[in-house]
Amino acid sequence: MSGRDFEMTRQVGWRALPAAATVILWATLLASPAPAETVSFGGQFPVGNGPVSVAVGDFNGDGTPDVAVANEGSNTVSVLLGNGDGTFQPALNFDTGGSGAVSVVVGDFNRDGAPDLAVANQGSNTVAVLLGNGDGSFRPAMNFGAGGQPNSLPFPEVSMAMAVGDFNGDGTLDLAVANRGSNTVAVLLGNGDGTLQAPVTFAVGNFPASVAVGDFNGDGRPDLAVTNLGSKTVSVLLGNGDGTFQPALTVSTGHAPVSVAVGDFNGDGRPDLAVGNIAVTIYVPSTVSVLLGNGDGTFQAARTSGVGPGTEPLSMAVGDFNGDGKLDLAVVTHNTQTHIDALTVLLGSGDGAFSSGMHFATGPVPASVAVADFNADGMPDLAVTNGGFNTVSVLLGDGDGTFQPRTVTAGGEPVSVAVGDFNGDGRPDLAVANERSSDVSVLLGNGDGTFQPARAFGVGILTGPSSMAVGDFNGDGTLDLAVTSSSGISVLLGQGDGTFQAALTLVAGTNPWAVFPSFVTVGDFNGDGMPDLAVTHFGGVAVLINTSTTLLSLALNPTSVTGGHSSTGTVTLSSPARGGGAVVSLTSSDATATVPSSVTVPAGAASATFRVRTSAVAASTQVTLSASYGGRTQTASVTVLPRHRQPDPH
């Protein structure tokens, strides 16, 4: 494999046509100029047809997370047991006994200590329970009526909701399912042996979208809150503690609530609700509604904060913009009719309310907002991309909730912005993905809120980059960039001075239904200390495991030598060195034991040895040796002993 190869990606596929679907974990590197260093990602795991939902649990009890995938096309659940290194064993497929498996959740429904699965089947209007054996296998599915149609709503923002809780206080998990077809929430009580009782339905509003569980009247019994997209309300159902619920209390929220969160937003110790309302038309404002709980199951009238009449809130960021210890909101808005664009800041008062929005000018068509302290004054600032004017607006915070706008030029049609210190001067810089010019602009920060002129870096063969993430992907201590577009994924390795090497370009497989990546984020998904990538795309979610070569160990033999004698050091890499070999740097903490400045691991080999020379000492001396490669340093100690004195014959 060449030094430009990316060995593995991981993706949960989409509803594949008619060929078997896969959880694709692979990618192909396209030809690009060879950089000084490489980044590798690694795998490919087939599942059933049309995988649409994924859940995580330890299904075989080995302490390693496993994956369960609901496959709508084949009416199965695929279970992939984790190996602990980011790879998975071949999928075990289990029939759900119904049709249209669209959602999967994990819980111990028979109280045997082994996780089980519950699957919503939208085609047969059932809920399937598959009891786990504790070894990664599952018993045949038992199907129970869902009391309606557990189906997705006709909006991309909304998905079928199923919540787990102990609604009758018997220590056994129960299920609550929002049913679009009957405008109800169905409660299926668990019997403790994995079976479920017949569903009991409770009327809610039109088009129930999501369910949350909380104790809204303080009686120690779980209650339900259900958002109703069609009737623009939240239904609150107080639990009786026996699995039944009182008739729904209806609370008006605003326009088209699609999500609900439970929290104490005014600090009175009682759970409140926060509801996000989407704008149904361009003439109706999008809002955020907060419903303060009275502690008896009722809620005060919704406190609704608008983000500008007729506007579309395209992106939002959270921070304490006025330094009062209470969270505020920053929302970028675009109006397709008036073409008036702005950044709206809503200051939180700590009592569940937000102040009227303060609007700050941006450029045309703002699309993304990020928070950082760009001028090192201890106050959060904002950076906003302006798609219609090829700029990034930097708004410096005054610490009182107001901002000073400052605009800098980026590339053609910037759509995504990220923050990082790309030249190692301790000051935040900006990286901007430009859709029209198909490149990344890097603007080095001066530390006072201003930036140096943008420098553009190509993203390989990609066109129209849409998302970007920052991480040190090759372990050299310098930040790199990962960029997605509709045609693939590019990795640009940073050189530590604000410049980047030529892009390494990946394509997430050759299946046309597993392409078009859109959003990328960074995380260490296999616990090896190296940043990996998670990417959304037309077919689902891809996880790309970083398999870059790093230094695994440094060993000495022997670890104690008499001064004047030698020891042998061995450096071992995490994988074989690529073309040109791997140069490992060596240092010693004391001249008593000396090492060469470096040792080269030959291409194709995973280890190399070197000689440790020592000099005579009067007393035992411990010397620490260090080896560094790929951003990692390993150490080992050698003890240098004095020579034994010959006894005096007299």
Residue 331 shares a structural domain with residue 408: yes
Return the pLDDT at 310: 41
Q: Which of 495, 529, 563 is the last residue of a domain?
A: 529
Domain annotation covers residue 326: yes
Our count of domains for the chain comes to: 2
Residue 367 shares a structural domain with residue 471: yes
Looking at residues 481-487, what average pLDDT do you find? Answer: 84
Q: How does pLDDT run across 453-471, given as a tens digit for each residue?
A: 889 998 876 678 888 899 9
User: Residue 604 has which token pair?
Assistant: 């194709």
Return the pLDDT at 365: 62
Domain annotation covers residue 18: no
Q: How does pLDDT run across 370-398, given as a tens digit for each residue?
A: 566 766 788 888 766 555 554 556 678 88
Distance CA(138)–CA(412), nearest Å, equals 53
Residue 517 shares a structural domain with residue 560: no
Domain annotation covers residue 155: no
Domain annotation covers residue 258: no
Residue 422 shares a structural domain with residue 571: no
Lowest mean pLDDT among 4-8, 209-213, 410-414: 4-8
Distance CA(385)–CA(332), nearest Å, equals 10
Return the pLDDT at 30: 26
- Which of the four pLDDT bands, split at 50, 70 and 90, describes residue 627? very high
Residue 415 shares a structural domain with residue 346: yes
Strand 162-165 relative to strand 142-145: parallel, antiparallel, unpaired?
unpaired
Q: What percent of the chain has pLDDT over 90?
A: 25
* Residues 117/110, Cβ–Cβ less than 8 Å: no
Residue 524 shares a structural domain with residue 573: no
Residue 590 shares a structural domain with residue 520: no
Return the pLDDT at 285: 61
Give the long-range contacts of residues 181-184, CB within 8 A, separation 24 or more: 181/125, 181/148, 181/149, 181/151, 182/147, 182/148, 182/149, 183/207, 183/208, 183/228, 183/230, 184/147, 184/148, 184/208
Q: Which of 494, 529, 564 is the last residue of a domain?
A: 529
- Which of the four pLDDT bands, split at 50, 70 and 90, describes residue 400? confident
Distance CA(347)–CA(399), nearest Å, equals 12
- Which of the four pLDDT bands, split at 50, 70 and 90, describes residue 646? low
Q: How does pLDDT run across 280-329, given as a tens digit for each residue?
A: 565 556 676 778 899 999 899 888 776 664 444 455 666 788 898 777 77
Residue whose token pair is 């593995």: 8
Looking at residues 411-435, what average pLDDT do you find? Answer: 87
Distance CA(102)–CA(127), nearest Å, equals 10
Residue 350 shares a structural domain with residue 459: yes
Residue 594 shares a structural domain with residue 502: no
* Alpha-carbon torsion (160, 164, 168, 170), positive or negative: positive
Residue 351 shares a structural domain with residue 491: yes
- Which of the four pLDDT bands, split at 50, 70 and 90, describes residue 163? confident
Q: What is the CATH number of the domain that holds 562?
A: 2.60.40.10
Q: How does pLDDT run across 5-58, given as a tens digit for each residue?
A: 233 222 222 222 222 222 323 222 222 222 333 343 433 345 555 565 566 778
Residue whose token pair is 């192909």: 28
How buried is 59 (Cβ within 10 angstroms: 0-12 exposed, 13-18 middle, 19+ buried)?
A: buried
Domain annotation covers residue 491: yes
Residue whose token pair is 């096309």: 73
Q: How does pLDDT run across 539-575, given as a tens digit for each residue?
A: 666 677 787 778 889 999 999 999 999 999 999 988 7
- Which of the four pLDDT bands, split at 50, 70 and 90, describes residue 139? very high
Checking if the pLDDT of 218 tops 90, the result is yes
Residue 525 shares a structural domain with residue 464: yes
Checking if the pLDDT of 513 tops 80, the result is no
Q: What is the CATH number of the domain that holds 391?
A: 2.130.10.130
H or E segment to which residue 480 belongs: strand 480-485
Helix (H, G, I), strand (E, B) or coil at 512: helix
Return the pLDDT at 451: 85
Q: What percent of the chain has pLDDT over 70?
A: 72
Domain annotation covers residue 492: yes
Return the pLDDT at 423: 95
- Output the pTM of the full model: 0.43
Cα-Cα end-to-end distance for the chain: 70
Helix (H, G, I), strand (E, B) or coil at 513: helix
Domain annotation covers residue 332: yes
Return the pLDDT at 486: 72
* Residues 352/344, Cβ–Cβ less than 8 Å: no
Residue 504 shares a structural domain with residue 431: yes
- Provide DSSP, 572-593: EESS---TT-EEEEEEESSTTE
Domain annotation covers residue 219: no
Return the pLDDT at 282: 57
Checking if the pLDDT of 174 tops 80, the result is yes
* Residues 288/313, Cβ–Cβ less than 8 Å: no
* Residues 292/263, Cβ–Cβ less than 8 Å: no
Boundaries of domain holding 599: 551-641
Q: How does pLDDT run across 68-105, given as a tens digit for each residue?
A: 777 777 898 888 787 764 455 777 889 999 988 777 77
Residue whose token pair is 């040190």: 472
Question: What type of residue is 78?
Answer: S
Looking at residues 591-595, what average pLDDT do you find? Answer: 95
Distance CA(136)–CA(88), nearest Å, equals 12
Distance CA(271)–CA(262), nearest Å, equals 6
